[in-house]
């Protein structure tokens, strides 16, 4: 359950739009930061009531989307809050985390690896047979091919990102020359 339900958010945004300050509303409704109210107002102005609806916490974003968000933020020199609003992300801190991971580990930091539920242990008793050497080698080859494909994909994304960054740099330097 969310801390502030949709009806309360709509009520607070409506009160703000009628002239009550975000600081006063934050005090009245015991909201720790008045920036939360301002974020709701911006989301309402951009997306209507749908922008105020609570969002699921376990959304997964592809590494390509994360790169797109970081690239847009850099190109427009936009703050985290504006970037989150532009891409309809629930929290600016999500972008900050992506940027931090990208700075530390590069593109591989943006991949989120979670357990594969299909490979999790079942509570059924199965007869376990030992795989043959050929099966082990085939599985190893398949895993290696999958890893190489993923690495190739990430290198393509990184190459594209660097090309865009280089183009921006050239564009900036062209504007800077008198």
pLDDT tens digit sequence for 53-105: 877 777 788 888 998 999 999 999 988 888 888 888 877 888 899 899 888 88
The better pLDDT of the pair 154, 38 is held by 38
69 and 148 within one domain: yes
25 and 93 within one domain: no
Q: Confidence band (pLDDT; 50, 70, 90) for 176?
A: confident
Count Cα neighbours of 121 within 13 Å in the Cβ-side half-sphere: 3
Q: Confidence band (pLDDT; 50, 70, 90) for 1?
A: very low
Q: Does position 120 have pLDDT exceeding 80, yes or no?
A: no
**Structural domain count, the chain:** 2
76 and 144 within one domain: yes
- In a 3-state reduction of DSSP, which class is residue 56? coil
124 falls within a domain: no
Residue 125 confidence (pLDDT): 57
Q: Confidence band (pLDDT; 50, 70, 90) for 123?
A: low
Mean local confidence (pLDDT), 141-158? 82
71 and 109 within one domain: yes
Tens-place pLDDT, residues 5-48: 889 999 999 999 999 999 999 999 999 988 889 888 988 998 88
120 falls within a domain: no
Residue 114 confidence (pLDDT): 63
82 and 41 within one domain: no
Q: Does position 127 have pLDDT exceeding 70, yes or no?
A: no
What is the spatial distance between Cα 18 and Cα 150, in angstroms, rounded to a whole number?
Answer: 52
User: Burial level of 8, CB count in 10 A (0-12/13-18/19+)?
Assistant: middle
What is the spatial distance between Cα 105 and Cα 96, in angstroms, rounded to a whole number?
Answer: 14
27 and 109 within one domain: no
Best mean pLDDT range from 43-47, 140-144, 147-151: 43-47
58 falls within a domain: no
Expressed as residue numbers, the domain containing 86 is 63-115+130-176
């Amino acid at each position: 359950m969310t801390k502030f339900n949709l009806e309360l958010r709509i009520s607070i945004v409506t009160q703000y739009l009628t002239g009550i300050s975000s600081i006063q509303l934050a005090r009245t409704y015991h909201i720790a930061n008045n920036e939360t109210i301002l974020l709701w107002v911006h989301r309402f102005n951009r997306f209507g009531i749908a922008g105020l609806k609570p969002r699921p916490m376990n959304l997964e974003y592809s590494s390509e989307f994360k790169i797109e968000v970081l690239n847009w933020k850099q190109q427009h020199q936009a703050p985290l809050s504006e970037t989150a609003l532009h891409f309809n992300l629930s929290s600016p801190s999500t972008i900050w985390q992506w940027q931090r991971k990208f700075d530390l580990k590069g593109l591989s930091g943006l991949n989120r690896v979670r357990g594969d539920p299909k490979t999790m242990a079942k509570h059924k008793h199965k007869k376990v047979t030992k795989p043959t050497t050929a099966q082990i080698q085939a599985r190893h080859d398949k895993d290696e091919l999958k890893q190489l494909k993923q690495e190739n994909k990430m290198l393509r994304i990184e190459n594209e990102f660097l090309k865009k960054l280089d183009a921006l740099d050239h564009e900036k330097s062209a504007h800077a020359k008198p």
